[in-house]
Structure 1
Amino acid sequence: MPFSIDNAVRPLEPLVAVDDRPLLLKGGTIISMDEQVGDLAEGDILIEGSRIAAIGASLRCDDAEIVDVSGMILIPGFVDCHRHAWEAPLRHLNPNSSNLLDYCCATHFTFGPHYRPIDIYAGTLLTAISGIDTGITTFIDNCHNARSDDHAAAGLAAWQHSGVRALFAPGPPLTGAWDEAGWPAHRLAELATRLGPETPERLVELGLMAQLLPDVWAQARAMGLPIVSEIPAPELADAIRKLAADGELGPDNIFNHITALPADVLALLCEAGVRTNVCPRSDAQYGIGDGGMRAFQAALDAGLEPGFSIDNETSYSGDMFGEMRTEFFLQRAMAQRDRFGGAKGVPPLTIRQVLKAATIDGARCAGLDDRCGSLVPGKQADLIMIRATDINLHPVSNAFGAVVQGADRGNIDSVLIGGRFCKRHGQIRGLDQGKLMSLVTATQTYLFAAHGYKPDLFCDTHDSLGREFPELTRFWN
């Protein structure tokens, strides 16, 4: 029987149609992330249905619901370009992890093979709802644990139930038994039947997660789907050069990490229009490539405009504020070191550049920049409202500085996605938090028992999870 979830178990109320009555947000500080719209110290945003209708000063609309947003900073919703949402029930399990093996031993090699469809649903929904809470309105979900049609359908259903915008990209698991029959074309075709009508208002789109496998890519391309690949090591450079020479790279490719790739390879990605993102905290914590020390700057130098991605929550938090600050200080530290050593170095990164990567460049990475990532009339109304009157932000001397360097999830008053309030006055709309916690706790309890893991709330390492390194040819080659 195809995967479905009983409405009695769902922690979120079913989505309702967007209100036909216009919504007029009055008197806020607006950071649009669009050069033509610009930024307004005090301005209004008129929303009609799911779209932004107008942005300006002293807007009027006689039949609109008026919302006073004075004392708030309005920005586009954040875009997380690379998240493994299924791993959310394993949050902070491995905070001291120092390499990719540690990460894999706490996820793929241990608990991953035990996941049931309901566990995929629970993890993905927790990620989505937490995204609303922290101002992430769009995700690219790299679901590399889609062991069956039902596992993949469960992930898709969670995004559809959440009201969050997403590019859902199922992929094969790294280890353990899975249903390989018809992968990927059959599974993708089955998921496509669940998407609903193709309209700008549709919140969830479909992609494929696959490594550097042109035969697999061809099946996604035949369906017009984007392809997401992990590029966490410079050892993949030769394979990328060959793909470029064979004409296999294109704007439908999304490459994660791109850590420590040589300049000529980054130039090939730029020439082919490959979309990219970097993972400031993941690369630094797990020592991927050079630890991500120069990934962002190297991408900029090559002419790329990478977005930011959080990757996972097994070691650190799932908010974009942490990602922006980490990248800002990583780049600043490297630039200042070069300057101190007498090298010319690169110009210091600006706060505006950091916010750009977390919004409009992330939307470009997802292929959704025609819908979101900036506040522009005609685009979908995906935005967040940050209370600038909170004690940690007041007084505001620089709006970009307040958002990137000062704010946190507690300052997010409201979140709109497609014109619909998903969070308002600090509360997530339609959420039964007790149900959500019960659903996720049941998944975590089951996974720990299935692997025979006894949790230790105060341990520094997880030697009990093992340090074996199974063959990864299915995923990495």
Structure 2
Amino acid sequence: MQSNRRQFLASVVSTAAALAAGPSALAATAPRVTGKAAARTRPLLLKGGTILTMDPDQPDLLRGDILIHGSTITRIAAQIEAGNAQVIDARGRIVIPGFVDAHRHAWEGQLRRINPNSADLGNYIAGTHQAFAPHYRPRDMYVGNLLTALGAIDAGITTIIDNSHNSRSLRHALSAVDALHDAGIRAVHAPGAPLVGKWDSASWYADLATLQQERFGKSDGLLTLAMMTSVDRGQWAVGRRLGIPLVTEFFGQEMSAQLPALHREGLLGPDNIFNHCTDLSEEAWQILKATGVQVNVCPRSDTHWGLGTGIFGYQAAIDHGIRPGFSVDNESAYSGDMFAEMRAALYLQRSSALARKTGEHASAPVDMRALLSAATIDGSAVARLGQQTGSLREGKQADIVLINTNDINLYPSNNALGTVVGAAERSNVETVIIGGRIRKQHGKLLDLDMAALHAATEESQAYLFKAAGFTPDAFATQFQVRG
């Protein structure tokens, strides 16, 4: 399996001509990797861990076992004996459901920290969509999505909603999906129209149907299709005919003002997924609650790029009885892990609560379980995967993360929730299981040739930087491309 990954990733440097030949040639010669751990013939038994189930129907255990058959959790108990099982020693580990990132632009993977000092939305767009996005080839989509998905898995994120707003052609979309499949992550892939530049707009709706037919339903159940869309009645109608969720960037008073009419027309529902949700009106929040629209908030993104007032929508959501998921958004300015999101949310919410303390409607300080819920089970509900993942319960998919509390930064762990939310980091993620398959073990991603991945990334970067007229500067304080 590793040799296949090495061969395919290394081939990135020499397959440009083949990629230009069309979808069939793409499938045969593109720089694809399998990313699939070998299927087990025996059950998997996690033994002796501290289990945070995050499920109202499955109690936490100070010390317990989890038995997995195939992709499914079949038993959780204080003690399980399964003589023929492959055993993972979970003593000294906290066992949690995998994190769910409810909003990630995975195609931007090779643009990590390209513009760290960006302070507004326009500057972010200039540093990604205007500079690089129009030059992306299908192979660049593959590399970006692969980097993002592998980085997510490494940090304990087992599910992402991939907001792919650079789907310039069917070939671009196919490459993005292939990368998610090869990485082995659970993903809701939502292709959408690019913000700038040429793209195959005339065939987009037909391409969505082709993508649904060719790449979904044949991926071990890990991949599902959605549609990234603006507030557009025509686009929403197409997505609903295909039976897929509708993902929309949604924030501010101007967008809030569109909701009453949409509500009266019956166009809002649980298949809508709204990102950000900063600075919404009181009426807008009431409509979102009444219609069951799914909401995710971005603790770092909304502040970093100054969306509206820069106050992320978590408090407003919970004040209206909505449990939002958390999302990273992208990595063009900061890291891609959920630990940072939970901690940013903790301190932003508590700062806001203290500021309102003398007021009439002071907010209670958020606690660690609520934050971990937003990063797991609440995010899975946003992704419409709540019956499959997001918590540890018998019958659910085995998307599981083990955090090593014997590591020097976590030992001794006196409170499991406090350790995960307040102190843990990517390096403490020892084991990651997705759909019953081990993707990371002993602190290392499995089946990964880093040298080949580096070569693929560097080729993609070199091409994109040249095409955009961008000169890398490790010490830059502002983003610039040649005019």
Call closer, same or farther: CA 1:67–1:463 in 2, change over 3 Å.
Answer: closer
Call closer, same or farther: CA 1:400–1:441 in 2, change over 3 Å.
Answer: same
Unaligned runs of 5+ in 2: 1-21
Alignment partner for residue 237 of structure 1, among 242, 245, 256? 256
Task: Give the letter aligned to residue 114 of structure 2.
Answer: L
Aligned equivalents of 1:352, 1:418: Cα separation in 2 = 24
Aligned equivalents of 1:104, 1:411: Cα separation in 2 = 33
Matches within 5 A, 1:44-443: 44-184=65-205, 186-197=206-217, 201-293=220-312, 295-339=313-357, 341-443=358-460
Aligned equivalents of 2:419, 2:482: Cα separation in 1 = 41
Call closer, same or farther: CA 1:371–1:18 in 2, change over 3 Å.
Answer: farther
In the superposition, the TM-score normalised over structure 1's length comes to 0.94
Matches within 5 A, 1:460-471: 460-464=477-481
Aligned equivalents of 2:446, 2:480: Cα separation in 1 = 41
Call closer, same or farther: CA 1:196–1:250 in 2, change over 3 Å.
Answer: closer
Aligned equivalents of 1:332, 1:6: Cα separation in 2 = 53
Aligned equivalents of 2:203, 2:470: Cα separation in 1 = 34
Kindly state the Cα deviation for residue 115 of structure 1 after the two structures are TM-superposed.
Answer: 0.5
Task: Give the letter aligned to residue 377 of structure 2.
Answer: I
Assess if the C-alpha contact under 8 Å between 1:20 and 1:48 holds in 2. no
User: SS of 1:169's equivalent?
Assistant: strand
Assess if the C-alpha contact under 8 Å between 1:13 and 1:430 holds in 2. no
Kindly state the Cα deviation for residue 402 of structure 1 after the two structures are TM-superposed.
Answer: 0.3
Call closer, same or farther: CA 1:16–1:320 in 2, change over 3 Å.
Answer: closer
Aligned equivalents of 2:436, 2:482: Cα separation in 1 = 45
Equivalent position of 1:32 in the other structure: 53
Aligned equivalents of 2:124, 2:216: Cα separation in 1 = 36
User: SS of 1:181's equivalent?
Assistant: helix
Per-residue deviation, residues 184-219 of structure 1 (Å, max 9, x unmatched): 2x11111112235479x4110001000100111111
Task: Give the letter aligned to residue 306 of structure 1.
Answer: P
Kindly state the Cα deviation for residue 122 of structure 1 after the two structures are TM-superposed.
Answer: 0.4
Kindly state the Cα deviation for residue 464 of structure 1 after the two structures are TM-superposed.
Answer: 3.9
User: SS of 2:356's equivalent?
Assistant: helix
Per-residue deviation, residues 312-345 of structure 1 (Å, max 9, x unmatched): 1001000000000001100000101111x45440
Call closer, same or farther: CA 1:317–1:71 in 2, change over 3 Å.
Answer: same
User: SS of 1:377's equivalent?
Assistant: coil
RMSD: 1.5
Per-residue deviation, residues 157-179 of structure 1 (Å, max 9, x unmatched): 11111110000000000011111
**Alignment coverage as a number of residue pairs:** 461
Per-residue deviation, residues 67-91 of structure 1 (Å, max 9, x unmatched): 2110000000000000111111111
Task: Give the letter aligned to residue 103 of structure 2.
Answer: H
Task: Give the letter aligned to residue 441 of structure 1.
Answer: E
Assess if the C-alpha contact under 8 Å between 1:254 and 1:274 holds in 2. yes
Aligned equivalents of 2:369, 2:253: Cα separation in 1 = 29
Aligned equivalents of 1:452, 1:346: Cα separation in 2 = 48
Aligned equivalents of 1:231, 1:27: Cα separation in 2 = 44
- The sequence identity of aligned pairs, in percent, is 47
Kindly state the Cα deviation for residue 8 of structure 1 after the two structures are TM-superposed.
Answer: 8.8
Equivalent position of 1:475 in the other structure: none
User: SS of 1:182's equivalent?
Assistant: helix
Equivalent position of 1:469 in the other structure: none
Assess if the C-alpha contact under 8 Å between 1:263 and 1:302 holds in 2. no
In the superposition, the TM-score normalised over structure 2's length comes to 0.93
Task: Give the letter aligned to residue 418 of structure 1.
Answer: G
